Amino acid sequence: MERLIAILAVALGTYLARVLPFYLSDRINIESAEKYLSSSSAAIISALFVTSFFSTEPDVGKYLTNTIALIFIALVYSRTKNAGISIMLGVIIHFTILSVSKLF
């Protein structure tokens, strides 16, 4: 249960990092918000990639789960162009695959 809470917190934080600048646009400069959004999406995707592949113990099952989640993120991002939603859904897919694999 603690893992689920942690994963949901990370997904929510990632999504809020993408959405809050739009809600705070009257207080900040639009150009600086665009710069933040363009640089943060690459950083988020890079961080997800690095932590997914290189911080786990060598395990084919984990690498396969990570690869499926990253492919899902890439597909969702290519359709929506929204890094927050694609990563949030990728985290949910990753958690779901891990949860289902523990049942077998």
Residues 8-55 pLDDT 10s? 999 999 899 888 877 776 777 777 767 777 778 778 777 877 776 666
- C-beta separation of 7 from 95 below 8 A: yes
Does the predicted model carry a pTM greater than 0.75?
no
Please name the residue ranges forming H helices in 1-104: 2-23, 30-54, 60-80, 83-103
Q: How far apart are CA 24 and CA 22, in angstroms?
A: 5
